Structure 1
């Protein structure tokens, strides 16, 4: 029993190399699949994720079912992911190559021709993102873009944006200024005593 738990059944270097190779392969596959795959997991995406983990399991662990072997694989995945994340945070060019760049899907209230088709993004998904971000429809949008991480960011036209606390405070200050001017004007028009 202890032998099965603690004895790594393939060389540790091989275990580490297998894990890194599978990580890179999955990264490339997701990059080729595009941003849409990250935008929101629907039922089909969930099926792929579940099956994908099972499909690559043997490629990572090989003939090793030991606890220590699994721990080495998990630690390698976490370390490689942390290293790549830090690298991408420091190197914008690497981030652009590995993650891609944003894609504009709406400009000035109009859909960008072909953008939804190229991203395999359904109009209903775009409409939902617009509603979640306080818009009513595409015509309310100044710009919407799909970020490399799958986030759909919507910027509403200025007239469609909700008032902020700063907007309300600025309006109060202007009203107070107008009230002072009106009071001063009324005082100037009073007949002298």
Structure 2
């Protein structure tokens, strides 16, 4: 087989394997990665490098492998955009954590967020207590959105903070 075609096929196989592996083992958004996850991805990338390029360690081989990964990712994102059922296989749905001041304990357990972590997120949004939260949602990117109500002015506030350490959920 042609060396460049071989690199292309190998790279595509590795890409699909990693995407499926990330979904099966629970990570579905890169913004949710913690330190251990980053280390794991670095080690995986090192482990699969030879599987993609084989004996071909030329610049051309590396560039072909990278190009195949970019194209595969582009195509996967397009398919996910146009086919919502396929996208749901790779991405989770947003999870409601609080509605009208009431915490959904089942959802908290499912997404593995403690009450203390939820309170921290609410305070980051400038809200003092759960009672003042109209809606709190764990978004698909790992951020927690909070919609609160100012009791004095009867005005609704929405805030979304990009968290440094995202929560992982399946």
State the TM-score, normalizing by the size of structure 2: 0.73
Question: How big is each residue's C-alpha offset from its partner over 1:43-80, in whole Å with a ceiling of 9 and x where there is no partner?
Answer: 22232232222222222222221110000010011111
Aligned length, in residue pairs: 155
Residue equivalent to 2:121: 129
Is the aligned partner of 1:94 residue 2:86?
yes
Residue equivalent to 1:175: none
User: Structure 1 runs of 4+ off > 6 angstroms?
Assistant: none
Is the aligned partner of 1:68 residue 2:60?
yes
Distance 2:27 2:97 in 1: 13
Counterpart of 1:105 (choices 91, 97, 105) is 97
Counterpart of 1:116 (choices 92, 100, 108) is 108
Distance change in 2, residues 1:27/1:65 (3 Å):
same
Backbone CA RMSD of aligned residues: 2.8
Distance 2:28 2:10 in 1: 28
Aligned partner of residue 114 in structure 1, secondary structure: helix
- Which ranges of structure 1 fall in alignment gaps of 5 or more residues? 1-9, 164-193
Is the aligned partner of 1:32 residue 2:24?
yes
- Which ranges of structure 2 fall in alignment gaps of 5 or more residues? 159-170
Distance 2:115 2:53 in 1: 41
> How far did 1:152 drift?
2.5
Distance change in 2, residues 1:149/1:37 (3 Å):
closer
> How far did 1:42 drift?
2.7
Conserved in 2, the CA contact under 8 Å of 1:15 and 1:72?
yes
Q: Which has the higher helix share?
A: 1
Distance 1:158 1:38 in 2: 34
Distance 1:121 1:39 in 2: 16
Distance 1:158 1:97 in 2: 38
Counterpart of 2:5 (choices 13, 35, 40) is 13
> How far did 1:36 drift?
7.6
Larger radius of gyration: 1
> How far did 1:121 drift?
3.0
Distance 1:134 1:101 in 2: 25
